[in-house]
Amino acid sequence: MTAPDTRSARVKAGALEVEHVALELGGRSILKDASFSVAAGEFIGVLGPNGAGKTTLMRAMLGLLPLSKGTIRVNGEAVVRGNPSVGYMPQTRSGLAGRHLRGRDFVAMAADGHRWGLPRASAAARADVDRVLDLVGGRTLATRPLSELSGGERQRLLLAQCLLGDPKLLLLDEPLISLDPRHQTGVVDLVRSVQRELGITVLFSAHELNPLLNSIDRVLYLGNGRAALGTIDEVITKPVLSQLYGSPIDVMRVNGRIFVMAGDVEVDKLDHAHEDGPEGHSHSHDHDHGHDHGHDHGHAHHHTGTHSHDV
């Protein structure tokens, strides 16, 4: 059974409702009978070990993967592929660093489903690109090639792409990968600022809780086929996490940080040590950056690079 949404009685149905959902991938069970509800305007951190299903669940929310059972509703409507009310940032890699495309053209690639930019874009599409660049503070990046930008600056432009078309729900899949702590903080603060300004809902997956600690409203933790949603104090506990990991887990709080431990090893370090295994395999992407925003809003943003992929 799914670990309960510890605040389900107090959360008004809104942005996202997951009811008795089961997911399989490659014949392997990923989620079993997961149920939880996310209210409009919440910022949710999505965590769990490699192979727990963070990416798979987001793809199911986009209508890109079928459910084995159950239902998912976004803004009260059944999930459909290409829902324009959902923005998606897939896991992205270092392939962007070698591109000489200007920042503005990179964002514009994601508008109206055009792959190679918008030389004859409508006035409305150009205005939308300007709007999202302003939202993320990206105007100064607009004329610079991606190859000259830092990882944090490129993430700023990727966030701008997600915001094209005015989505109400953002699904951000591991946007902190490969960023140093300073840039991680910058990305989290930016997402939180935009989320508050627009009043939108955000699901933000990460390998580690601490960069999100002061920004998220609640945490969705996946593991062992289960899902637990609640406040940090409700979910990040020895009993809940031991159930999700299927083995004894300790939680340590030190100087404002939280460490999830399996024995004397931090769980996050264990995940990285096994990234090349069958569930957290190292993965090379060559994703078509054809965004198809609002039509296959998994933006089919895809970039070349290497990192562990949650399934």
Q: What is the pLDDT along the chain (311 residues), one digit of tens a residue?
A: 444 454 443 444 579 999 999 999 888 999 999 999 999 999 999 999 988 999 999 999 999 999 999 999 999 999 999 899 999 999 865 566 567 889 999 999 887 654 444 455 688 888 999 999 999 999 999 999 998 998 889 999 999 999 999 999 999 999 998 899 999 999 999 999 999 999 999 999 999 999 999 999 999 999 999 999 999 999 999 999 999 999 999 999 999 999 999 988 888 766 544 333 333 433 333 333 333 343 343 443 333 333 333 45
Classify strands 169-172 and 201-205 as parallel, antiparallel or unpaired: parallel
- Cα(198)–Cα(71) distance, rounded to whole angstroms? 27
Tell me: do 154 and 184 sit in the same domain. Answer: no
Neighbours of 272 (CB within 10 A): 14
Note the pTM of the prediction, 2 decimals: 0.81
Domain end point (choices 109, 131, 166):
166
Q: Output the pLDDT for position 205.
A: 97
Instruction: Look at residue 169 in the predicted model and tell me its pLDDT.
Output: 97
Residue 229 falls inside a structural domain: yes
- Considering 166, 187, 219, which residue would you say is the last residue of a domain? 166
Asked, for residue 290, whether it belongs to a domain, the answer is no
In a domain, 302, yes or no: no
Same domain flag for 43 and 174: yes
The answer to whether residues 78 and 145 belong to one domain is no
- From 166, 186, 211, give the residue that closes a domain: 166
Residue 211 confidence (pLDDT):
96
Around Cβ 136, how many Cβ atoms within 10 Å?
23
pLDDT number for residue 302: 36
In a domain, 304, yes or no: no
Q: Which residues contact 295 (CB under 8 A, 6 or more apart)?
A: 82, 84, 113
Q: Please indicate, yes or no, whether residues 81 and 175 belong to a single structural domain of this protein.
A: yes
Does residue 51 sit in helix, strand or coil?
coil
What's the number of domains the chain is made of? 2
Burial class (CB in 10 A: 0-12, 13-18, 19+), 285: middle
Same domain, 79 and 208: yes
Shared domain check, 112 and 186? no
- In contact, 61 and 298? CB cutoff 8 Å: no
What gap in Å lies between CA 98 and CA 26, rounded to an integer?
33
- Give residue 92's pLDDT: 65
Same domain? For 113 and 135 the reply is yes
Q: What is the CA radius of gyration of the chain?
A: 19
How many residues are there in the chain?
311
Assess whether 186 and 255 both reside in one domain: yes
The verdict on residue 288 lying in a domain is no
Closest CA to 110 of 284, 285, 302, 306: 302
The pLDDT value recorded for residue 240 is: 96
What is the enclosing helix (H) or strand (E) of 166? none
Residue 96 and residue 177 in contact, taking contact as beta carbons nearer than 8 Å:
no
Write out the residue range of the structural domain in which residue 102 sits. 94-166
| Residues 69 and 218 occupy one common structural domain | yes
Residue 237, classified by CB atoms within 10 Å of its CB into exposed (0-12), middle (13-18) or buried (19+), is: middle
Which helix (H) or strand (E) segment holds residue 134: the answer is: helix 123-135
Helices (H) and strands (E) in the chain, counts: 8, 15
Contact partners, residue 260, CB within 8 Å, separation at least 6: 209, 236, 241, 249, 250, 251, 266, 267, 268
* DSSP letter, residue 254: E
Burial group, residue 145, by CB count within 10 angstroms (0-12, 13-18, 19+): middle
Residue 203 DSSP label: E
175 belongs to a structural domain? yes
Residue 235 contacts residue 44 (beta carbons within 8 Å): no
Report if residue 220 sits inside a domain. yes
Q: With contact defined as beta carbons under 8 Å apart, do 40 and 95 qualify? A: no
Output the CA–CA distances (angstroms, integers) from residue 302 to 109, 249, 299, in the order listed: 12, 35, 8
178 and 257 in a single domain? The answer is: yes
Q: Identify whether residues 67 and 204 lie together within a single domain.
A: yes
Q: Is residue 3 part of a domain?
A: no
Which 3 state secondary structure label does DSSP give 184?
Answer: helix
CATH number at 52 reads 3.40.50.300
The pLDDT assigned to 121 comes to 66
Question: For residue 207, what is the DSSP state?
Answer: S
Kindly state whether residues 63 and 157 are assigned to the same domain. Answer: no
